């Protein structure tokens, strides 16, 4: 049995869940989200938590059970607390700013890099070099944060570029003079 899949999903105060066929809809203070799961598992609402069970004992339904439980748990956490990712812009003259629903990056290119914020993702910039992205959708947030980082990933010699705040960049030694 899947260790993750058998854990119940607690529903915090203010969060409600409804199940119709294979679609689980979760409503909370930060919005409403839904997920349609495969027919290999069943989701049941019991008191103040959700339980994901397998329909049969096949290997595929075991793996789908853990996946489904994790994705539904992400919805519950997203509509109750929300998610955030923080990025740092390192480099002389490198900076970021938000103009409306657009993130504008100055990263040493001959042009400004303008990135439209996806629906449901909010952005704030502190001190021109610290980007904070917030959303209730974990998948969309992570994907956009990765797109921002890939505009100018950190280089291994001086660490210039965009990195996650908690990311550790392993620096290489430059050329040695003889």
Beta bridge partners of 116: 102
Has residue 100 been placed in a domain? yes
Asked if residue 75 has pLDDT above 60, the reply is: yes
Give yes or no: residues 15 and 49 share one domain: yes
Res. 134 pLDDT band, cuts 50 70 90:
very high
pLDDT at res. 60: 83
Which domain, by its residues, includes 155? Answer: 83-164
Rounded to whole angstroms, the Cα distance separating 130 from 52 reads 39
Q: Is residue 119 part of a domain?
A: yes
Q: For 44-48, what is the mean pLDDT?
A: 86
CA torsion sign for 47, 49, 50, 52 is negative
- Cut 0.85: pTM above it: no
pLDDT at 130: 92
* Better-scored residue on pLDDT, 4 or 14: 14
Q: Measure CA of the first residue to CA of the last residue in the chain; give whole Å.
A: 61
> What distances in angstroms separate CA 138 from CA 22, 37, 47, 91, 144, one per listed residue?
21, 17, 26, 28, 10
Q: Measure the CA–CA gap between 62 and 57, rounded to whole angstroms.
A: 7
Contact assessment for residue 144 and residue 164, using Cβ atoms and an 8 Å cutoff: no
Residue 62 shares a structural domain with residue 95: no
Q: Is residue 121 part of a domain?
A: yes
Listed in sequence order, the residues at least 6 apart from 83 whose beta carbon sits closer than 8 Å to its beta carbon are: 77, 134, 135, 136, 137, 138, 141
Does residue 118 share a domain with residue 57? Answer: no
Instruction: Classify residue 174: in a domain, yes or no.
Output: no
Are both 99 and 114 inside the same structural domain? Answer: yes
């Amino acid at each position: 049995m899947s260790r993750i899949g058998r854990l119940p999903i607690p529903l915090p105060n203010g969060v409600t869940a409804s199940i119709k066929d294979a679609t689980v809809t979760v409503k909370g203070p930060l919005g409403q989200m839904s997920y349609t799961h495969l027919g290999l598992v069943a989701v049941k609402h019991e008191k103040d938590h959700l339980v994901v069970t397998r329909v049969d004992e096949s290997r595929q339904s075991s793996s789908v059970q853990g996946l489904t439980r994790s994705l539904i748990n992400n919805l519950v956490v997203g509509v109750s607390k929300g998610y955030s990712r923080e990025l740092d812009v390192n480099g002389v003259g490198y900076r970021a700013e938000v103009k409306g629903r657009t993130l504008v990056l100055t990263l040493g290119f001959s042009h400004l890099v303008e990135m439209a914020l996806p629906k449901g993702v909010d952005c704030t910039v502190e001190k021109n070099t610290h980007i904070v992205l917030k959303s209730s959708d974990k998948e969309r947030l992570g994907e956009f944060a990765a797109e921002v980082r890939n505009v100018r990933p950190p280089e291994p010699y001086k660490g210039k570029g965009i990195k996650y705040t908690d990311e550790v960049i392993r620096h290489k030694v430059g050329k040695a003079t003889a």
